[in-house]
Structure 1
Amino acid sequence: MTQRAHVPWLYLLVPLAFLVAFTYVPVVSMVVHSFTDWDGLSRDREFVGAENYVDLFTRPQLFQVFAVSLFYLAGALLQTGLALYFATVLSFGTRLRGLFKGIFFFPYLINGVAIGFVFLYFFQPGGTLDTTLAVFGVQPRLWLGDPDLVNTSLAGVSVWRYAGLNLVLFLGAIQSIPPHLYEAATLDGANRWQQFRHIIVPSIKPIISLCVILAVSGALSVFEIPFIMTGGANNSETFVIQTIKLAFTFNKVGLASAAAVVLLVIVLLVTWLQRTLVPEERVEQS
């Protein structure tokens, strides 16, 4: 019996070793570096205490980039709404449902670097978007060169890429709802909207909460798409891009580590606040 109790831990040994080596050790190392003045190359790491954190919070311009995250947050909420809508439509026996699921989910499978380069051509002057809009009489715009348009354009790319992931999560949750609930609702004269409001939404509330948490944390830590498409130019720099520049352009690894710790704390705090304000309820399906 004792030997059998150790068997699961033997299977978990390798995954746990990878988890510790590639997650917890780097996090601890990042926290340690945040209290040092290190350039990332030299062997000497001067301990400076909380000086990096004081530097962060006394330079408001370092936090002004969080305003860019509002565009991605709005896009994330939009993609969540669109994913919920299409998941609901596809759950009601739509023809070619498998094809549509594949079409929606396919962008999430594409490498982010490839997506960035594809949309560089899409948004370039005289490119695909300008050519399409010209049919409707819309003049060409500098979609990535205009500071008033660049963040909206980049957030639109994020919506296109990640909506499919939310759709699959919602669709799986909706399909787990017992069919007899729909049958009872239909017998009572409930239409599709009423079934969505009183059956689907309450039943998949934990998944909706999860998607909102992912949306908020993703909006705060967005990096890949703006870094590839603009490099943070034209008022599109995010907090993570700024942190990367601090570490690898200005060789301030200690300050960059402090910024990363602050971002981690903010994400955890936002998640905790959401869990506190909107507690997860146990859904009874009968």
Structure 2
Amino acid sequence: MGPALVFYVVLFVVPILGAVWISFHEWAGSGPMTWNGVDNYSGLVKDPLFRQSLANTLKLLFIVGIVVFVLSFAMTLILRDMAGRKLVRSVIFFPHLINALVYGVLAGFIFNPGGLANSLLKPLGVDSPPEWLAQDNLFPLIMLTMVWMTTGYYTTILMAGVDRIPRYYYEDCALAGANAWQRLRHVVLPLTWDVFGVCAVLWTISSVKIFEIVWIFGGSSGNGIPPAKTWTAAVYTYATAFSGDSIPAYGAATASAMLSLLLVTVLVVLLRRLMRRDVIEF
């Protein structure tokens, strides 16, 4: 394990410790750093834009997460006994192979004034279609795009968890006269609970890091920079470091990144504790 441990320490632990050190300084990316203690962190807490970015991140985490998991599990149950489900699984998983930047560009094409959405509404007699890319509508569209992007991925994982349940469990349920709800509650959910736990951790980590789809899709409505109403924690960090004043605020941006790391750590620990249960062997 020695070489792997050295690799991990050099490429992960050392940069994280360096980032923690930078977060307590005022720094423009070059030249000397000026120690300012916790001013970067207190400034973030007082910044309404950071609080809004954090609120948007939590919306993506919880609201989109619930929708994605409900749809993914429903699709898993529908496809469980479908003929050719392996082919269907491959088709469902394929969108996950497409980069999020592509989804941002596609969403911009779909919802722009002359895009697909309005083209489909005109034959229905809608003469004044909604302004999809208005600032108040952008974030809900980003949330909808996230559902489109990720549902197939988590469906594939949940299908793998359901497929490993032995068939004779269902046969025993049928002999005992259990209905569909009882099979779901006493067989499917308990035996796939660990898979749900893995999916929840993966979603938590990925949702806090969401950047590309917001930057590309949100930027399509303006001058290339998404409106502040759509910013997530990752977008706020990038904008603070590279798209703000003429002097980059790397210290404040790194403090923002450290708070995101702390948020992920706390949420993952809570998830592991809340979803902990006895291991069921079968």
Q: Return the TM-score normalized by structure 1.
A: 0.87
Determine whether 1:39 maps to 2:21.
no
Query: Which residue, out of 88, 94, 97, partners 1:106?
Result: 94
Contact 1:52–1:258 (CA under 8 A) maintained in structure 2: yes
Amino acid of the residue matched to residue 219 of structure 1?
Answer: S
Counterpart for residue 222 of structure 2: none
Match of 1:68 in 2: 56
Give the superposition deviation at 1:232. Answer: 2.6
2:233 to 236, 239, 260: 239
How many residue pairs get aligned? The number is 271
The one-letter amino acid paired with 1:239 is A
* Structure 2 partner of 1:259: 256
- Amino acid corresponding to residue 146 of structure 2 in structure 1: S
> Residue 276 of structure 2: SS of its match in structure 1?
coil
Distance 1:114 1:21, change over 3 A: farther
> Match for residue 125 of structure 1?
113
Q: Does 1:268 align with 2:265?
A: yes
Give 5+ residue unaligned stretches, structure 1: 1-8
CA change 1:101–1:140 in 2 (3 A) is same
Residue identity opposite 1:84 in structure 2: F
Q: CA deviation at 1:18?
A: 4.4
The aligned counterpart of 1:196 is 184
Shift of 1:101: 1.0
C-alpha distance 259-140 of structure 1, shift in aligned 2 (>3 A): same
Distance in 1, matches of 2:270 and 2:203, equals: 14
- Equivalent positions of 1:117-196 (< 5 A) are 117-138=105-126, 139-144=128-133, 146-196=134-184
List runs of 5+ in structure 2 lacking aligned partners.
219-224
Say if 2:52 and 2:229, in contact at 8 Å, map to a contact too.
Answer: no
- The one of 74, 81, 88 aligned to 2:77: 88
- Please tell me whether the aligned partners of residues 151 and 236 of structure 1 are also in contact (alpha carbons under 8 angstroms): yes
Question: Partners of 1:237 and 1:182 in 2: how far apart?
Answer: 47
Which letter does structure 1 place at the counterpart of 2:34?
E
Question: What CA distance in whole angstroms lies between the structure 2 residues aligned with 1:141 and 1:176?
Answer: 46
Is the Cα contact below 8 Å between 1:105 and 1:164 reproduced in 2? yes
Q: Is the 8 A contact 2:24 2:38 kept in 1?
A: yes
Letter aligned with residue 242 of structure 2: F
Shift of 1:17: 4.7
Aligned mate of 1:220, from 208, 212, 237: 208
Residue 248 of structure 1 pairs with residue 242 of structure 2:
yes
* C-alpha separation in 1, matches of 2:159 and 2:143: 24
The amino acid of 2:271's aligned partner reads: Q
Q: Secondary structure at the match of 2:95?
A: helix
DSSP 3-state at the match of 1:65: helix
Partner amino acid, structure 2, of 1:31:
V
> Once the 2 structures are TM-superposed, how far is the Cα of residue 70 of structure 1 from its aligned partner?
4.4
Question: Which shows bigger deviation, 169-178 or 134-143?
Answer: 134-143
Q: CA deviation at 1:271?
A: 1.8
Provide the identity percentage: 28
Could you say what the CA RMSD is over the residues aligned between the two structures, in angstroms? 2.0
Q: Relative to 1, partners in 2 of residues 1:283 and 1:136: Cα closer, same or farther, differing over 3 Å? A: farther
Amino acid at match of 1:90: L
